[in-house]
């Protein structure tokens, strides 16, 4: 990571003996250390988000982060922005209210696969359908981490979890396909290993008007990995390295994830269409005046 910082920061801005990390002003330092396990990918994704935020040039007073419940739900509590840690699954409709009440805000939902795809699945598809202007970053670690590693809607068929001791009997959601079919204007997937590409995608998503969606495949060595022959964070990163395949523009229908199969990454959807507020203000101009 230190090499990457050196690349991203101009040498003259580097303090030879920095008192704090150059991204610390974006974090609530008084809340650190965070709760995430060693080897977890959520912190990696958060770093990518914060770097993208730095590059975006957005007014940080106008950026709000909304999370639901779960390991990733804790992101909102660490960012030094207006940040909301809401109820399980409801980050997206909360973010919808925030954005529509104050369209000046750049609203980012940062939450996990259980939160956004299971209990919050209905909200996800409807916000995408309405094309509400927000960026959703979805950490997918294939299980419910906070409660101890239970099976979820993204768990690959056959995977062992604490509530699928004989292997998961269900078909998992293909999240990019779901987001794309529901109407998202930007859909990308990266693993927590591919940090530069992930950061670039988050930056692109932040720049989109409308509902943009970035899935981050993330290690959970403490739970999911341990039970599925990827005992350490490094094992999982190695797997992403060996089986990650970049296919930009591929039909999201084709990006299912199997238990030991390849992980297709890339930007799958990047289109333009009117947002909820575009339609709302157009209708107003035409009929109300």
Partner 1 sequence: MNGDGVLTGEFFMMGDVACAEGAISAGCRFFGGYPITPATEIAERMSERMPRVGGTYIQMEDELASMIVVLGASWGGVKAMTATSGPGFSLMMENLGLGIMTETPCVLVNVQRGDPSTGLPTLVGQGDMMQARWGSHGHYEIIALSPSSPQELFDLTIRAFNLSEKYRTPVLVMTDAEVGHMTEKVVIPPPEEIEIVPRRKPTVPPHEYLPYRADDDLVPPMANAGEGYRFHVTGLTHDERGYPVMDAEAQERLISRLVEKIRRNKDDIIQLEEDGLEDAEVVVCSYGISARTALWPVELARKEGIKVGNLRLITVWPFPEERIRRLARKVKAFVVPELNYGQIVLEVERCAAGQAEVILVRHAGGDIHDPQKVLEAIRRAAR
Q: Which helix (H) or strand (E) holds 141?
A: none
Which is closer to partner 1, CB of 29 or CB of 251? 29
Tell me if 99 contacts partner 1 by CB under 8 A. Answer: yes
Q: Which of 122, 271, 273, 282 binds partner 1 (CB under 8 A)?
A: 122
Tell me if 104 contacts partner 1 by CB under 8 A. Answer: yes
- In degrees and rounded to multiples of 5, residue 274 shows phi and psi of -60, 145
Cβ–Cβ under 8 Å, residues 241 and 265: no
The region, left, alpha or beta by phi > 0 then psi within -120 to 50, assigned to residue 273 is: beta
Tell me if 208 contacts partner 1 by CB under 8 A. Answer: no
- In degrees and rounded to multiples of 5, residue 180 shows phi and psi of -65, -45
Q: What CA–CA distances, in Å, run from 228 to 112, 141, 214, 220? A: 20, 12, 25, 10
Question: Smallest Cα–Cα separation from 221: which of 211, 236, 210, 209?
Answer: 236
Tell me if 32 contacts partner 1 by CB under 8 A. Answer: no
Tell me if 76 contacts partner 1 by CB under 8 A. Answer: yes
CB of 231 to partner 1, least distance (A): 29
Sole window of 44-52, 100-108, 138-146, 203-211 interacting with partner 1 (rule: CB under 8 A): 100-108
Q: Show the site string, 155-194: x = touches partner 1 by CB under 8 A, - = not.
A: ----------------------------------------
Which is closer to partner 1, CB of 94 or CB of 224? 94
CB of 57 to partner 1, least distance (A): 17
């Amino acid at each position: 990571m230190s090499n990457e910082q050196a690349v991203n920061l101009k040498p003259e801005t580097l303090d030879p003996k920095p008192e704090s990390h150059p991204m610390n002003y974006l974090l609530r330092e008084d809340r650190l250390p965070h709760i995430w396990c060693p080897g977890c990918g959520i912190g990696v994704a958060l770093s990518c988000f914060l770097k993208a935020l730095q590059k975006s040039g957005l007014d940080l007073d106008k950026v709000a982060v909304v999370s639901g419940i779960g390991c990733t739900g804790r992101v909102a509590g660490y960012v030094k922005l207006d940040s909301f840690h809401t109820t399980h699954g409801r980050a997206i409709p909360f973010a919808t209210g925030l954005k529509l009440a104050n369209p000046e805000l750049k609203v980012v939902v940062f939450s996990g696969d259980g939160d956004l795809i299971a209990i919050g699945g209905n909200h996800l598809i409807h916000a995408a359908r309405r094309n509400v202007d927000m960026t959703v970053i979805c950490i997918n670690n294939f299980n419910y981490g906070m409660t101890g590693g239970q099976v979820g809607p993204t768990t690959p068929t056959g995977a062992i979890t604490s509530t699928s001791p004989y292997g998961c009997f269900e078909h998992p959601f293909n999240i990019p396909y779901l987001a794309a079919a529901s109407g998202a204007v930007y859909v990308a997937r990266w693993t927590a290993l591919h940090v530069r590409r992930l950061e670039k995608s988050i930056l692109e998503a932040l720049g989109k008007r409308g509902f943009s969606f970035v899935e981050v495949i993330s290690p959970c060595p403490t739970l999911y990995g341990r039970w599925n022959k990827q005992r350490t964070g490094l094992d999982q990163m190695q797997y992403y390295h060996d089986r990650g395949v970049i296919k930009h523009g591929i039909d999201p229908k084709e990006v299912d994830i199997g238990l030991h199969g390849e992980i297709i990454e890339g930007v799958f959807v990047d289109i333009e269409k009117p947002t909820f507020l575009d339609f709302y203000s157009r209708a107003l101009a035409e009929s109300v005046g």
